[in-house]
Amino acid sequence: MIQPTLRVLLFLLALSPLLGTAQTVASFESIDASQLPVSGRKLDFDPNGSVGTKQYMEWINVYYQAYDKVTFAPVWTSPQVGITPWKNAQLTSCYNIVGDGVILFDRLASRWVIAARTSTSNNYTYCIAVSNTDDLSSASLAWYAYAIPLNSILGSNAQGNVYFPDWPKLGTWPDAYYLTIDLNDVNLSYREVGVVVCALDRNSMLLGSSTPNPPQCFRQASSPSTAVYLGHSLIPADVEGTTPPPAGRDEYLVSIQNPPLDGVSTTSSTFNLWQFHVDWSNPANSTFTQTSVAVSPYTPGCYNAAAPVQTACVPEPSTAVTHNYIDSVGDRFMPGFSYRNFGSYESFLISHAVQAPTGGQKTSIRWYELRGSKTPSPYRSGNINFDSLYRFMPSIAEDAVGDAAVGYSISNASTHPGIEAAWWKLGSELKPSRVPIFSGSGDEENSSHWGDYTSMTVDPVDGCTFWYVNEYFAANQTGSSINWNTRIANFRAPGC
């Protein structure tokens, strides 16, 4: 007969996966500023990446590197120059890539996708390349490279200057790669005055076609034209896992709705849901529609009604002396908009930084799950806020058994910026479990920019392992020095 004490112990052991046992986190150093030539080191470098079948691939502004999933060994002896796929294809219009790069692993096709925009004034190009294999270490690796002229897509302001294509994001869907771009007016201090969304001919790009269909694009502008577009920075849904959406399923995109610019309002109680239906046979039948979704009120991270376009309020230990605060980029959702088809239901996850409910300017992470076989709608939501740390720059994903995980940056006046994550089982009453990843030992004293986004993705082979990339500082970055570090980590939720 089992003794009562032993019975309780066995019960707790059986229950421990549900209670959120401590995670085993594997992490390793990835691209650091010291690995790049001086000309390639930027203050704002946007760490992001994705996990594939054999490697993890990371992008840092104008360089990329891949790492073996098992040994963590780099694929190339040094980070590759970001323009490599387009230079090999002699697409000269893509030789001036300087930032906003994105890496995806197209799980439905088992291919890599790398993309970025150029920055030549008044003449912009979107550069996208698709690999011919899932193995970045293969001797036969090649890229199908494409250069998409943007000027006519972006449009021009009253002074005749082309809108600057800022913060482009990309999502994988069966019928297209969906591209979103913020339209910034160069004559209004790069104010966000609209958005443009395009469907790119994914099927042709996967085949390496030299003549893919032209992009199908829709543009939304603010009214009047001098106002800030409050629903900017759309995030397209990206298929997580290898089960595609139901046949004919349209793509969906989301953006927050920033508070009205009246000098008083600080909260919003809606976000925007966009539906893109593409018809490659008859483009006149393609549609792009917007609906407003009601949610619990929120204040965007670091929001200040007197200066609504300034979202830097995150302190670090040196802030008392330098008066430098980190930008939470709280005026938008953060990629990705993670989609999974579970057969009996479809799940979409998105996250952003909001002002914590404790008051002041402390930031926390808010997340939403959307469900629905037709137009998805909010199904549940929650906040990640364990203690007095500021939490910002999140990225969320969902594993194959319905566990969610979000990675983000942390900092406060006594804690150097570092990297953390949280996981929870969707639908469970249990609170999220904290997953410490890496503690920074330095501050970014010479800039408020803390990248502009990070990446949480799930291994397409096991459907369980979360992979996350973010930045930190091993030593204070001061003056004109640039010495940031990035780190890639992976972990699983118990029971997956």
Contacts of 488 (CB under 8 A, 6+ apart): 27, 28, 30, 49, 56, 58, 67, 72, 467, 468, 469
Strand 80-81, strand 63-68: pairing: antiparallel
Nearest in space to 339 (alpha carbons), one of 495, 199, 458: 458
> pLDDT in tens for each of the 496 residues of the chain?
444 333 333 333 333 334 444 468 999 999 999 999 998 899 989 999 999 999 999 999 899 999 999 999 999 999 999 999 999 999 999 999 988 999 999 999 999 999 999 988 899 999 999 999 999 999 999 999 999 999 999 999 999 999 999 999 999 999 999 999 999 999 999 999 999 999 999 999 999 999 999 999 999 998 776 688 999 999 999 999 999 999 999 999 999 999 999 999 999 999 999 999 999 999 999 999 999 999 999 999 999 998 888 999 999 999 999 999 999 999 999 999 999 999 999 999 999 999 997 767 799 999 999 999 899 999 999 999 999 999 999 999 999 999 999 999 999 999 999 999 999 999 887 899 999 999 999 999 999 999 899 999 999 999 999 999 999 999 999 999 999 999 999 999 998 9
* Prediction pTM value: 0.94
Domains and CATH numbers, the chain: 23-491 (2.130.10.10)
Q: Give the Cα separation of 191 and 86 in Å (integer).
A: 30
Residue 479 CA to its chain's centroid (Å): 29
Nearest of 124, 217, 212, 201 to residue 163 by alpha carbon: 124
